[in-house]
Amino acid sequence: MIREVVVYPDKRLKEVSKPVESFDENLHTLLDDMYETMIAKNGIGLAAIQIGVPLRALIINLPDEEGNQPKEALLEVINPVILEKRGSAVYTEGCLSVPEYYDDVERAEWVKVEFQDRYGEKKVIETDGLLAIAFQHEIDHLNGHLFIEKLSILKRKKFEKEWKKRKKATKGAKGARGKG
């Protein structure tokens, strides 16, 4: 089922998500819904809190060279812990919870992450490039953080101004439709 995505500044996005303890059908349905929602909204990563569920679960499905996102490449990541990180890299990030806003963010270039899969099996991955960025972006969601918090004060101020303007415009458009 496609679920609604929680959008900034919804305070649920600030919640620290709780560890997953039951690797049961409920978790599997949650992961399936997250996948459907992410694909429907053209995302490449999604944390459970983005559909309002405060559990430490996230998915990542990066596009291949042709821009396809085969489900075989889907990563389901439960209770992740970053064991090590190295280097630094700047990527232009976007987030389904902050639609239509993209900006450069600096993160570690390489990460080693321990996590569980949907059956509770322990895994360890060492990765760099876009996947390392995606892991860090999504794990931040589990701790109640968004990529816009990593912007400089000046950029953040500009973002908040733009966001307010956009909210006003959407409200205006909705009001006009309501009058008709």
Catalytic residues: 138
In the set 66, 100, 175, 176, which binds ligand Y12 (CB under 6 A)? 100
Nearest to 8 by CA among 180, 103, 176, 144: 144
Give the nearest distance from C-beta 111 to ligand Y12 in angstroms.
13
In the set 95, 111, 132, 133, which binds Co ion (CB under 5 A)? 95
- Does the footprint of ligand Y12 cover residue 135 (CB under 6 A)? no
- Does the footprint of ligand Y12 cover residue 42 (CB under 6 A)? yes
In the set 3, 31, 43, 146, which binds ligand Y12 (CB under 6 A)? 43
Q: How many C-beta neighbours within 10 Å does residue 62 have? A: 15
Left if phi > 0, otherwise alpha if psi is -120 to 50, otherwise beta: which for 110? beta
Please state, in angstroms and rounded to a whole number, the distance separating the CA atoms of residues 120 and 47.
Answer: 17
Nearest to 59 by CA among 98, 92, 90, 33: 33
Q: Give the residues across from 116 on adjacent strands.
A: 78, 122
Please state, in angstroms and rounded to a whole number, the distance separating the CA atoms of residues 41 and 44.
Answer: 9
Pairing between β-strand 89-93 and β-strand 45-47 as defined by DSSP bridges: unpaired
* Contact window for ligand Y12 (CB under 6 A) among 6-14, 90-98, 120-128, 150-158: 90-98
80 contact choice in ligand Y12, Co ion, none (CB below 5 to 8 Å, kind-dependent): none
- Does the footprint of ligand Y12 cover residue 133 (CB under 6 A)? yes
Number of residues that bind ligand Y12 (CB under 6 A): 15
Give the nearest distance from C-beta 95 to Co ion in angstroms.
3
* Contact window for Co ion (CB under 5 A) among 22-30, 58-66, 87-95, 155-163: 87-95
- Does the footprint of Co ion cover residue 5 (CB under 5 A)? no
Which DSSP helix (H) or strand (E) runs through 115?
Answer: strand 110-116
Please state, in angstroms and rounded to a whole number, the distance separating the CA atoms of residues 80 and 142.
Answer: 9
Task: Tell me which residues touch ligand Y12 (CB under 6 A).
Answer: 42-45, 91, 93-96, 99-100, 130, 133-134, 137
Task: Tell me which residues touch Co ion (CB under 5 A).
Answer: 95
